[in-house]
Amino acid sequence: MSQKVITILGENIEPGKSYELNFDVAKLHTASSIDVPIIIERAKKPGPTVLLTAGIHGDELNGIEIVRQLIAKGINKPKCGTIICIPIINIFGFINLSREFPDGRDLNRVFPGLKNGSLASRVAYKLVNEVLNQADYVLDFHTGGAGRFNAPQVRIAKNSNRLDALAKTFGAPFVLYSKNLKKSFRETAYKAGIATLLFEGGKSHHIDINITNTGVNGAKRVLHSLGMLGSKFKVSEPKQKPVFIMASKWQRASYSGMFKASVTTGAKVKKDDILGNITDPYGKFNHFVRAESSGYIINANESPLVYQGDALFHITARLKQHPIKQIENDEI
């Protein structure tokens, strides 16, 4: 939390100043440059550095909208410390509304990257070594894919009181303990000792106001807990206490056909409750999908057509029973 000059993409970032840097990714086939804007706001007063990222997958628009709002509303201008915003990391995917890079790779599976590797690997390498290395905290915003709608949730690794407290402060309805995926952005940040929350909400190719509001309000709570949020912004209490999920299970389709869910994400269901139905297009078949177990639905398939074995509902299997250890703000 010193007042020293920090360096991002070769630029010295001085206290009390604003910057917009261009992350020079690559050129198109037309030789046109593709730049990813990085918006940096630094207060005169020393404090932590928070990195807000979205668009690692270019079709995940909810996360991009969350970071956009944080910038547009001035929430990214801190009372102390530094806030770095990257609304769209995978600009290629955003242009094409695609999850992957032009080289066919998932950017979130190639971290920490290679200096002379594939296009996605080079971007990961530059992001890690010229931006991420300056951060103390990361809020990384994602969205469900393949027509599956995620209830607003934060994902963290197990056995970290620090992350437990940070997730509780964020205040999403659900906190899912999940392993850091190999070669993911979250795993790389975690190994570097950077406290990271991964937010998931909604589905790809879609912007949902409830999801974006949850993400924006969660970011405000975290910044407030760090003493960074501007005094003109109000911090609301979450509508419900976060549910900490130790384990969850996908319920899959027993038949192929036309699918319609009758419950919403976030709902609490009991075993044998009707969750939806699968029909054929000829009016001869109607199968009711019943809950195989009790729990909260944290993800629901919104695709109208499903095949046997497709994931339909993600249902919590085990919740954390003991209370979350309280940690003082300066320890978060």
276 φ/ψ angles, rounded to the nearest 5 degrees: 165, -170
Smallest Cα–Cα separation from 166: which of 119, 209, 219, 122?
219
| Whether residue 324 has pLDDT greater than 70 | no
Supply the pLDDT for residue 326: 41
pLDDT higher at 298 or 23: 298
**Span 92-110, pLDDT tens digits:** 999 989 999 988 999 999 9
Q: Model confidence at 327, in pLDDT bands (50, 70, 90)? A: very low
Across the chain, which distance is largest between two alpha carbons, in Å?
Answer: 71
Smallest Cα–Cα separation from 198: which of 13, 72, 52, 306?
52
Beta strand 18-27 with 137-144 is unpaired
**Span 265-297, pLDDT tens digits:** 999 999 999 999 999 999 999 999 999 999 999
139-143, 239-243, 267-271 — which is least confidently predicted?
239-243
Beta strand 195-203 with 137-144 is parallel
Helix (H), strand (E) counts: the chain:
6, 18
Supply the pLDDT for residue 328: 35
Task: Say what percent of the chain tops pLDDT 70.
Answer: 95
The structure's pTM equals 0.94
pLDDT higher at 324 or 260: 260
**Span 165-176, pLDDT tens digits:** 999 999 999 999
| Whether residue 219 has pLDDT greater than 80 | yes
Supply the pLDDT for residue 5: 83
Cis-peptide, bond into residue 112, ω within 30° of zero: yes
Task: Check if the beta carbon of residue 293 is closer than 8 Å to that of residue 315.
Answer: yes
Structure tokens at 24: 């020079």
Please report the DSSP string for 67-104 in residue order.
HHHHHHTTTTS-SSSEEEEES-S-HHHHHHT-SS-TTS
Task: Say what percent of the chain tops pLDDT 90.
Answer: 87
| Whether residue 1 has pLDDT greater than 50 | no
**Span 23-79, pLDDT tens digits:** 887 777 777 778 889 999 999 999 999 999 999 999 999 999 999 999 999 999 999
Supply the pLDDT for residue 3: 66
Task: Check if the beta carbon of residue 107 is closer than 8 Å to that of residue 128.
Answer: no
Supply the pLDDT for residue 322: 55
Beta strand 148-156 with 174-177 is parallel
**Span 300-323, pLDDT tens digits:** 999 999 999 999 999 999 998 755
Unique residue bearing structure tokens 């998931």: 200
* Residues 47, 24: Cα–Cα separation, whole Å: 28
Residue 331 sits at the vertex; the CA angle it makes with 328 and 332, to the nearest 5 degrees, is 90
Sorted by where each starts, the structural domains of the chain and their CATH numbers stand as 6-241 (3.40.630.10), 249-317 (2.40.50.100)
* Residues 115, 240: Cα–Cα separation, whole Å: 45
Rama region for 238: left / alpha / beta (φ>0; ψ in -120 to 50; rest) = beta
Please report the DSSP string for 157-199 in residue order.
-SS-HHHHHHHHHHT-SEEEE-PPPTT-HHHHHHHTT-EEEEE
